[in-house]
């Protein structure tokens, strides 16, 4: 006889004894570990190494260097692990929403009894369908300015009523209620239960937000959900939820998923909280802290009030014992005398000031009279007359008036030098009064003004004696006058 091992599937000799296969009957059950090992052997030997196409979700990269994620498509999911050695050779950084091709072996993670693929190689295929829809809606809403910081509203510091939109099942709501009641037990909390994933979840969330906005019975609104994959959180990436948050009449807070999860609701809401529990912490300040702060302020106010009252009491005591309150009539008389002194000082000061100003005015009037414009104008006019007389004396007409003449040729050009070629030409001579014409009979280029002022005596021509007539004394006198006239 042979018996079959439950965990290996191989036949071994039974030494002639009949051994019942484990798990066939209640008397010989198989252990969970053996069954899991058997399933693992069947998967590993039956399928071998395969290629799987899918979209990454629930991606995790702990400090060990191993990668954990889920491969999914429209209808199924498959857990995957990629150990550090293979992860270093990936050639790119895997992330949620990426469409990939993964090569590996199907095995079983015995601690959980969960089958998974142990990835040896991974290649990118582009973004997955959900990630593409996410990015497309994000771009479209951003173009409508729904993510702008300018439209973000501040949250109230002391909210009296808080609205919560979340699932009634699960630990999210209980954690938030516990934190809110511990930190601010006086706050009113209103909850609307909705589905947070699956078909119709987005519509329920949008309707709950719109109901809170219409009722206006809360100071702020929190939309909350626990962590999950991209498809688990997809209801908060729907356009209906985004537009309901944008149109909400009260400030909104998005507390969806873990700190590393981002949804469209996070971008539209007035505030994004990393987790639902963090949202409860952010929205309320611990009342114990407020009580301590109020107690400190009360003690400070009490000390300040006592100090102010003591200061005023001392001031009143000084006033009651002051000279002014003990003998007010004498004080009034002293102030009246002081007023008279001040009036006299004021009159004397004003009188002296007026006299000083009058003296200064007289000095200015004397200076003005000495430098009066009319007097200065008369002086300038006399100067201008002298300049005009000098200008006339130095001008061409003044020169002619002194006995000089201007000689012009036939073209009207003035002659300044004597040239031989000018002999026989006609010229015009401009005098102080009028002009005459003349013919040049001789030219002396080398002669100067002194030669002209002292001309040489002309040679005497022999005159034949006239018979019967002798020179008389009158004829000699006439010649002498002519000579002097020419000179």
Q: What is the H or E stretch that residue 238 is in?
A: none
Within-domain flag for 185:
yes
Q: Name the one residue in this structure whose structure tokens are 């950084």.
A: 93
Query: Residue 96 belongs to a domain with what CATH number?
Result: 2.40.50.140
Over residues 318-344, the pLDDT tens digits come to 877 776 676 777 778 788 888 888 999
- Full residue range of the structural domain in which residue 435 is found: 405-443
Question: Helices 129-143 and 239-247 meet at what angle, rounded to 10?
Answer: 30
Within-domain flag for 20:
no
* Encoded tokens for 56: 């990454």
Integer Cα distance of 385 and 391 in angstroms: 10
Over residues 343-377, the pLDDT tens digits come to 999 999 999 999 999 999 999 888 887 777 877 78
Asked whether the whole model's pTM tops 0.85, one would answer no
Using DSSP, state whether 149 is helix, strand or coil: helix
Q: Are residues 151 and 111 in the same domain?
A: no
Intervals of the chain under pLDDT 70: 1-24, 126-129, 286-287, 323-324, 326, 449, 453-487
Within-domain flag for 90:
yes
Confidence (pLDDT) at 18? 52
**Residues 6 or more apart in contact with residue 273 via CB below 8 angstroms:** 222, 253, 254, 255, 279, 282
Confidence (pLDDT) at 33? 80
Report residue 173: phi and psi, to 5°. Answer: -65, -45
Rounded to 5°, angle at Cα 45 from 43 and 50: 75
Task: Look at residues 169, 176, 249 and name the one whose alpha carbon lies nearest to residue 201.
Answer: 169
Within-domain flag for 21:
no
Using DSSP, state whether 99 is helix, strand or coil: strand
Among candidate residues 67, 96, 127, the one where a domain is terminated: 127
Contact predicate 102/122, CB 8 Å: yes
Query: Residue 142 belongs to a domain with what CATH number?
Result: 3.40.50.10550
Q: Are residues 152 and 94 in the same domain?
A: no
Report residue 367: phi and psi, to 5°. Answer: -65, -35
Within-domain flag for 418:
yes
Within-domain flag for 293:
no
Q: Are residues 154 and 103 in the same domain?
A: no
Over residues 163-181, the pLDDT tens digits come to 999 999 888 999 999 998 8
Parallel, antiparallel, or unpaired: how do β-strands 188-193 and 161-166 relate? parallel
Contact predicate 308/291, CB 8 Å: no
Confidence (pLDDT) at 6? 42
Q: Are residues 119 and 150 in the same domain?
A: no
* Encoded tokens for 284: 């309320």
Q: Are residues 101 and 179 in the same domain?
A: no
Q: Are residues 44 and 121 in the same domain?
A: yes
Within-domain flag for 358:
no
Q: Are residues 123 and 98 in the same domain?
A: yes
Q: Are residues 142 and 227 in the same domain?
A: yes
Report residue 97: phi and psi, to 5°. Answer: 90, -10
Report residue 122: phi and psi, to 5°. Answer: -140, 140
Integer Cα distance of 285 and 111 in angstroms: 43
From the CB of residue 222, how many other CB atoms can be counted at a distance below 10 Å?
28
Q: Are residues 114 and 173 in the same domain?
A: no
Integer Cα distance of 262 and 137 in angstroms: 13
Distance, C-alpha 296 to centroid of its chain: 41
Phi-psi region of 55 (alpha: psi -120 to 50; beta: other; left: phi over 0): beta
Q: Are residues 98 and 156 in the same domain?
A: no
* Encoded tokens for 121: 């190689």
What does the longest C-alpha to C-alpha distance in the chain come to? 217
Q: Are residues 87 and 201 in the same domain?
A: no
Task: Look at residues 411, 416, 406 and name the one whose alpha carbon lies nearest to residue 436.
Answer: 406
Contact predicate 109/143, CB 8 Å: no
Residue 256, class by beta-carbon neighbours within 10 Å (0-12 exposed, 13-18 middle, 19+ buried)? buried
Within-domain flag for 360:
no
Edge-to-edge strand ranges of the sheet holding 406-408: 406-408, 426-430, 435-439
Among candidate residues 252, 285, 318, the one where a domain is terminated: 285
Using DSSP, state whether 71 is helix, strand or coil: strand
Confidence (pLDDT) at 350? 93
Confidence (pLDDT) at 111? 81
Integer Cα distance of 110 and 32 in angstroms: 9
Among candidate residues 285, 317, 343, the one where a domain is terminated: 285
Confidence (pLDDT) at 476? 60
- Straight-line distance from the first to the last Cα atom of the chain, in angstroms, rounded to the nearest whole number: 184
What's the total number of domains in the chain? 3
Q: Are residues 121 and 147 in the same domain?
A: no
């Amino acid at each position: 006889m042979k018996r079959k091992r439950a965990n290996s599937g191989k036949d071994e000799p039974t030494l002639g004894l009949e051994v019942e296969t484990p798990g066939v009957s209640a008397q010989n059950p198989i252990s969970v570990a053996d069954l899991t090992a058997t399933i693992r052997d069947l998967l590993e030997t039956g399928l071998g190494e395969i290629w799987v196409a899918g979209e990454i979700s629930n991606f995790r990269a702990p400090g060990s260097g191993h990668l954990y994620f889920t491969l999914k498509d429209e209808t199924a999911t498959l857990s995957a692990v990629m150990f550090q050695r293979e992860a270093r050779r990936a050639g790119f950084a895997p992330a949620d929403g990426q469409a990939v091709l993964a090569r590996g072996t199907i095995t079983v993670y015995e601690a959980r009894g969960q089958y998974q693929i142990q990835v040896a190689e991974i290649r990118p295929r582009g973004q997955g369908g959900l990630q593409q829809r996410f990015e497309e809606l994000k771009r479209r809403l951003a173009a409508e300015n729904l993510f702008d910081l300018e439209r973000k509203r501040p949250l109230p510091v002391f909210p009296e009523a808080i609205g919560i939109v979340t699932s009634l099942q699960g630990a999210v709501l209980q954690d938030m209620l516990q934190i809110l009641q511990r930190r601010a037990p006086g706050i009113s909390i209103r909850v609307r239960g909705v589905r947070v994933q699956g078909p119709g979840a987005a519509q329920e969330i949008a309707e709950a937000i719109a109901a809170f906005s219409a009722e206006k019975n809360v100071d702020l609104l929190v939309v909350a959900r626990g962590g999950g994959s991209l498809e688990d959180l997809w209801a908060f990436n729907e356009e209906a939820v985004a537009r309901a948050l944008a149109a909400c009449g009260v400030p909104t807070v998005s507390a969806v998923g873990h700190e590393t999860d981002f949804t469209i609701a996070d971008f539209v809401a007035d505030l994004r909280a990393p987790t639902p529990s963090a949202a409860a912490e952010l929205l309320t300040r611990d009342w114990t802290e407020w009580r301590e702060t109020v107690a400190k302020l009360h003690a400070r106010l009490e000390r300040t009030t006592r100090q102010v009252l003591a200061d005023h009491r001392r001031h009143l005591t000084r006033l009651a014992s002051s000279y002014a309150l003990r003998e007010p009539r004498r004080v009034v008389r002293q102030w009246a005398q002081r007023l008279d002194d001040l009036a006299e000082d004021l009159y004397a000061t004003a009188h002296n000031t007026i006299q000083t100003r009058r003296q200064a005015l007289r000095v200015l009037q004397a200076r003005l009279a000495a430098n009066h414009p009319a007097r200065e104008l008369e002086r300038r006019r006399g100067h201008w007359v002298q300049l005009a007389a000098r200008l006339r004396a130095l001008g061409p007409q003044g020169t002619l008036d002194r006995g000089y003449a201007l000689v012009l040729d036939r073209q009207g050009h003035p002659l300044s030098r004597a040239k031989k070629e000018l002999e026989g030409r006609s010229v015009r001579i401009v005098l102080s009064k009028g002009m005459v014409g003349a013919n040049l009979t001789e030219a002396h280029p080398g002669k100067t003004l002194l030669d002209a002022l002292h001309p040489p005596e002309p040679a005497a021509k022999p005159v034949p004696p006239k018979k019967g007539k002798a020179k008389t004394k009158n004829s000699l006198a006439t010649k002498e006058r002519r000579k002097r006239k020419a000179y």
